[in-house]
Every structure is written in C-alpha cells, then in structure tokens.
Chains A and B, each alone.
Chain A
C-alpha cells in the first residue's frame, strides 16, 4: 500500500511517481494524496500523518510572503547590482534598528517594557502563522481565537506575578486590585481552564490530529516567547544595564562574526548554517568580550542605567534613582604580573560589573549562536526562508531575536544565582499576606536575628518611631 511504503520513509518522493503533477495551492501532501485516494479513503488526519513521517526532501517549500522593501529604498538603490543592493538594504535597516533602540532607551523603562511586550506579541504571531501555513489550518474552527486567548492568559499570569511585586504600594491602595492579587493564581488558572475546555469542546471529527498539533505548537511557542520576554522584563527591573549589555553583546557578536567571516572566513563551522565560519566565531567572541567590557565601563557611570527600576506612587511613574551598589563603584584591582609588564601599570580601576560582563559576553558568543542554529534548523525543517517579511532585508522579528532566546534566561539565572537574592518587595508582600499570628512570630524571629547581627541596636525605650537603625526594645 502506498501508505506503508511512504511511512517507511525511504521510498522515492512523490515527484518520482507517475501520478498527477502537484496541484497548485494544494496541501503539502497534495500529490501524495492523489495516489492514496485512488487506493483507499483517507481523512485529513491521515494526510498529515504522511506529512509527519516523510523525510524533509519530500516536502515542498512554503511559498514566501511578498517582498516588503519600501519603494524609496528600492528607487535609491536601483542603480546598484543585486548583491550590493541587498548589502545596502541590510545595512540601512541595521542602523535604523539600532537608532530606534537608542531612542527607546532614552524614553525610559516603561517604553522599553511596552517594546518588549510588542516584540513578544509579534514573535508569537510569526511563529503561529508559520504553524498555520505548515498545517493549512487557517480555517480550523476556533483555533485562531484560542491561540490568542492562551497568549492573553499566560501574559496575564506572568504580569500579575511580576507586576504585583513592583507595584506593591500602588496595589495595596486599591481594593479591587488587592482582590485580584490575592487570588491571582486561581483566577489565572480558571482563565486557562476555560481555554482548555473550549479546546476540548472544539475538537472536530476529522481534524483531531491537526488540532492537537496546533495546540502543542501554541504551547511550545508560548513557552519560548512569553517566558523569555518576562525574564527580559525582570532583568530590566534589576537595572537597565542588565538589559542593555546582554542584548548589545548578542547584536555585537552577530555583526562582528559576520564581518570577521566576511574578511577572514575559511573553515565552515556547522553544517546547519553553511555561511558561519570558525574564524567568524572566534573573532566574534574576542570582539564581543572587548565590546562588553567597554560598554559596561561606559554604562556603569550613570545612575539611570545602574539603579533598579522602581515605581514611585507619588509621581506615578518609574524612577531609577539610588545609591549604586558596590558592583557599580570603581575599585582598584591589582594586575597579575604578566599584564603588569604589558600595560606598565600597577593596578587598574574598574567596575566589578565589568567582570560579570565578561561572563555575559562569553555566553553571548559561545552559546548564543546555538539559539541561532536552532532557528536555522527550524527554518530548514519547515522549508521557510525567513520567519516573516516584517523587516526588509532581514526577515521577521524572530530572525533578529533568535540568538537572544537563551540570553535572557541566562542573565536571569545569573542574576538570581550570583548577584542578588530573592526580590525584597516580593518577600514583603508575602509577609503581609500571612496570618497575624504567623506575622508576629516572624517579627520576633527577625528581630532576634537583626539584633544578633548588630543591624538593629537594642536600646532603652524611647518615644521615637521606627525607621532608624536604633529601635526600642529591651535586650
């Protein structure tokens, strides 16, 4: 039976068979379906069953979207040859994106948060659209609604968890917000369940497999894009420098590896991406470390970048003002002997953060590219050239952000493991939710601890109020 032979995966592709030529606009399994319908009845699920087990070469490409290069650019560059034209378009768009990035940094953390949110929504949209095109499931009942609904639910859950911490004082004031925060998990779970039940009720007889695929596709996409974007926002709240330096390191690595590869590239790096070379990889690594080092030095001076973002209820906006922590205060490091000889200095003063930036840049150059390879493999698997055509010359938003995937998670894990402990406002918020007796117990434990450590001075009772290092208690 045709089914069997094709499921074995080794047989000749449908093109090799003497059947009808591939139909235009027909499903990827189209020409194969011609054979199978003559043999036996299939339902749509079977068609996709074959789609799954055939090898990649049997699957035709997904037709690319329209070219969206703006007309002005095309006219300005009409005189150049095609290769240089492409180079120029990419270059101009790169500079545009970098300027946009600077502009938004200038506008502040709230705009950055909005930007991250829009990028997340766009990435989600791009990946889901690819899923629709791969599976021709654009007309599945309910499915588009359900995908966006799940995106909304998961975002609601994450924003509730993070936002509640940072806006603690603001939230304490409003009664309805209090209710939403207290039962936040329950509400999010109920919302998610509603979507889950809608999915189950929307299962249609001949489309089961397709619907399960899209369900799984949506969930994996949510896992990748939404969680990462929330980790980016948490890094941002730690201090804009924790957002800027990693992202710039990844961008720098991209550009530096490209340039090194362009001039010196000789040995291919990995079969997945034939254009990448070892020379580019190593050159990119060294340049990124140096770039990260310098960027960290420049940014560490400004409170604007270095301070954790806080929400001030009096001015109703985000402020970044603080006493910079030791990480961002210049310290003298004595140089090891061989560097002493080279630089002819005894010691050098730098910010401790620069040492951390070396770790971040190293990750960006060595492991970050794996995110890019993952995305390349994904594009080859589904026979697409770019995720979308949003940015002329560059492809979709996902194409620009593929190497950033792992970076955000790494920075977050790095911060929680090596830099700071748990979030103080979250600890406070949880304390305030406890039962009064528990709060009293904890209060006593904390007081003992603080007195032991000498942070709290036990003195005689005074009439003064709290908030100072000296408090009133009898030892």
Chain B
C-alpha cells in the first residue's frame, strides 16, 4: 500500500509542472516581497498592456543601470572599489535571506550576528592581503598598520576562530541540524560571493579595461541573446531555462565577440583604462598614468588569405589586447551562461522566482550578477597565466623578509640564470 501511494504521488507530480506545485507551495512558504516599482513609472505606463509594461520597465531599468555604470567608471577606481564592495554585501545579504526563508531560521540565536561576523572576517582577510601589496609604502610608514600587516594572517585566523567557537557554543539542543545548515550555507555563500568580488578588484587594479571589457561582454551577451532569441528563437537550449534558445545562444556569441573587439579597440586608446591602478603616496590618491604596455600598442597583423579576399585589405592594425578580448568574449558567451543556469537551478530548487526585489523588473542584485560569477575568476586566472607574471615589487618585498643565506642563494641562482641567458655580462654588471 505504501509503495502504491508513493508511486501515485510520483505520477501526479509527473503530470504537473514545477510552476503548479510551486504556486501552491510557494504561496504558503515564501510570500513575495512587495512590488518595488516606483510610482512614477507605474503611472506613466498605466495605460499599456501588462506585457509591454513589463518590457518597458525592464528596458528603462536596463538603461538606468548602464548609465549608472558609466558614471561610476568616470568617477574612478576608488568609487568602483566601493561599488564592488556594496554589491558584494548586497548579494551576500540576498542569499542569506533566502537561507533564512528556506529554513525558517530567522530566530535562531546568534545566527544573524554570526553570518555578518564571518563576512567581516573574510573581507578583512582578503582586503588585508590585497591592500598590503598595493599600499606597501603607506603601510610601512604607519606603525599600527605595519604590525597589522606583518601578523595579518594570524589576526585574521584568530578572528575567524572566535566566530567558529561562538558558533559551537551557540548550538542549541533541538536545532543542531538547522544551525549546521545555516553554517554551511553561510560558508558556501562566502566562497561564491566574497572570493569573486576580490578577484574583480584584483582585475581592476590590473587596469580598468580588464574590469570593464569582461563585464560589458557578459551584459552584451545577455542582451544580444535575448534579442536574437526574441526575433529568431525556435529551438530550446536547456530544460532548466525554457526561455533560452540555441538561436539566441549562437547569435549572442557572435554579437558579443564583435562587440568585444570594437569595445577593446575604443578603450585601448585611453591611458586611464589601460594603465594599472597605482597608489601615489605623495598625492594620497589613486593614479592611472603610465606607459602603455605592448598589449596596448597598435600593431600590424597580416590577414590570412581567406579573409583578405573578402575584405580587400592586406594587413590590419589592431591592438594585441583585441586578440585577448576574443578569448574573454568567447568565455562570456559560452561558459558565462552556465552561471546563469546554475542560478536558475538554484531558484527552482528553492522555489523562488527572484533572489530579491531590489531592482524593479529585474529582481535582485544577484539576478543581474549571476552570469558574472565565473567571469571574474576566469579573467583573473587568464591574467595570471597569460598576461603578467607575479608582481615584481611584491617579490622584492618577499625577498627582503628572507634570511640572509636564503637571499644569497636566490641572488646567485638569479645571477647564473641571467648569465646563461646572456642578459648579464661583465660589462652590464659594472654599470
């Protein structure tokens, strides 16, 4: 009898779609937040039909967000860093709130405090690691900062441990499982959100172009895939997101690659985008001023015979960076959407429509940033592997902390290496 009941429930569940059970279950579990669309928009669009109204709201908000993006780019790296920080905190907040709603754990003792405390600890650790590199001279000057940076890992670990011990002490008898779930939830969220945001900041310091081009490619891919899907969409792409189509996917891919090429061509001309961000001790601010590296200098490339006949040009002048931008756009269009599918799966798993209702028509901040997850990590890994090696000034700093015999050993090895390469001769050494 019991087996029959179970198979009966399976059969019934087969027949209905996720949305059906969702509407009954969701209504009971996760009441949707209030509609956040501003009144002015509501009134302006009140006479349009619901579908067009939604389209207009989305369109207007998209333009508003893009304009906002341009404004903060104009304001400079410091403001960008702060925006990244705010987005990170808001994403963390959104995901943790979902966790609370799923597990009804809003009243668990200590847990809200602990989640924010862990966020603070992990951010402290990461900012300490990056800031020490970039603000090295400033840090060495100020005595308390110097001690904080010397024992940074130890201090961060102690802070984390305190949180861990508080968690253990806060375990309450009948809520163990819930507390462990929230602990795991918090840590996975930190892993996703905080590490990615710090990689974004690393990319930003490498040069604003490494921040702007990837993000724009992802946004462009989103929009282009939507448009191509809207006009030409026919074959569904993946069961997870029924609205995505193969036509949108492929069209978005080509459009994004072209967009990436154009955008990098335009941006590579300006120093403020291309130079690494540095902290100037004298003016106590960030500067982006340098001699552009080989990547950002126009070079002649021979066009392969195939394309020569089509375009009629023998050579083309481009920046080497544009070749890299092809790699970035390809990743953004082919693998980036997996981040979006992951988020869709997550929303279906927990029966939520959007992460939050922060942006009218679009959902929460996480909804906008889901495809960016993997992009930041990819760009960082790409830069580390193909563009630049380790940071020379950081290496010198590390060298200076070694023991004298180790320093001598390294110096001699370097010397023999350079001599082998022919870089170091008796003549150059004398200079």
Contacts and interface: CB of A to CB of B under 8 A. Distances in A.
B414 A446 contact: yes
A432 B389 CA distance: 10
Interface in B166-224: 167-169, 171, 173-181, 184-185, 187-188, 191
A197 interface: yes
Contacts of B377: 189
A212 B349 CA distance: 7
B114 to A, nearest CB: 13
B341 A200 contact: yes
Contacts of B271: none
Interface in A428-475: 428, 430-436, 438-443, 445-447, 449-450, 453, 455-456, 461, 466-467, 469, 471-474
B177 A456 contact: no
Contacts of B348: 208
A212 B345 contact: yes
Interface stretch (A93-101, A112-120, A279-287, A413-421): A413-421
Interface in A207-222: 208-209, 211-212, 216-217, 219-220
B153 A208 contact: no
Given A7-B104, A421-B402, 13 more contacts: A20-B2, A37-B9, A42-B9, A42-B25, A46-B21, A55-B174, A56-B173, A417-B153, A421-B403, A424-B406, A424-B409, A436-B418, A447-B411
A97 to B, nearest CB: 26
Interface stretch (B259-267, B275-283, B393-401): B393-401
Contacts of B395: 427, 430-431, 434, 442
Contacts of B239: 205
A422 B421 contact: no
B43 interface: no
B291 interface: no
B55 interface: no
Given A53-B103, A186-B381, A220-B187, A34 B2 contact: yes
B175 A56 contact: yes
A3 B378 CA distance: 43
A4 interface: yes
B168 A413 contact: no
A223 B408 CA distance: 37
A123 to B, nearest CB: 17
Contacts of A37: 5-6, 8-9
A contacts with B: majority SS: helix
A254 B240 CA distance: 50
A220 B412 contact: no
Interface string A1-38: 10110011100000000001001001000000110011
B111 to A, nearest CB: 14
A424 B382 CA distance: 25
A409 interface: yes
Contact-residue bracket for chain A: 35 or more
Given A52-B102, A220-B188, A431-B414, A443 B424 contact: yes
Nearest to B166: A370
Contacts of B426: 461
Given A1-B28, A52-B102, A445-B396, A196 B5 contact: no
B346 interface: yes
A446 B398 CA distance: 11
A185 interface: yes
Nearest to A473: B429
A209 B173 CA distance: 26
Contacts of B413: 428
Interface of A: 1, 3-4, 7-9, 20, 23, 26, 33-34, 37-38, 40-43, 45-46, 49, 52-53, 55-57, 59, 182-183, 185-186, 189, 193, 196-197, 199-201, 203, 205-206, 208-209, 211-212, 216-217, 219-220, 223, 270-272, 367, 370, 373-374, 377-378, 380-382, 406, 409-410, 413-414, 416-418, 421-422, 424, 427-428, 430-436, 438-443, 445-447, 449-450, 453, 455-456, 461, 466-467, 469, 471-474
A216 B184 contact: yes
Interface string B8-27: 11001100101001001100
B338 A422 contact: no
Contacts of A378: 176, 180
B408 A422 contact: no
Nearest to A372: B168
A223 B184 CA distance: 11
A56 B177 contact: yes
Contacts of A4: 28
Given A200-B240, A381-B179, A434 B174 contact: no
Contact of A455 (B161, B398, B404, B428): B404
B392 A433 contact: no
A185 B387 CA distance: 13
What 8 pairs between A and B have smallest CB-CB spacing? Answer: A381-B176, A208-B349, A421-B401, A186-B385, A417-B154, A381-B177, A209-B349, A41-B12
B301 interface: no
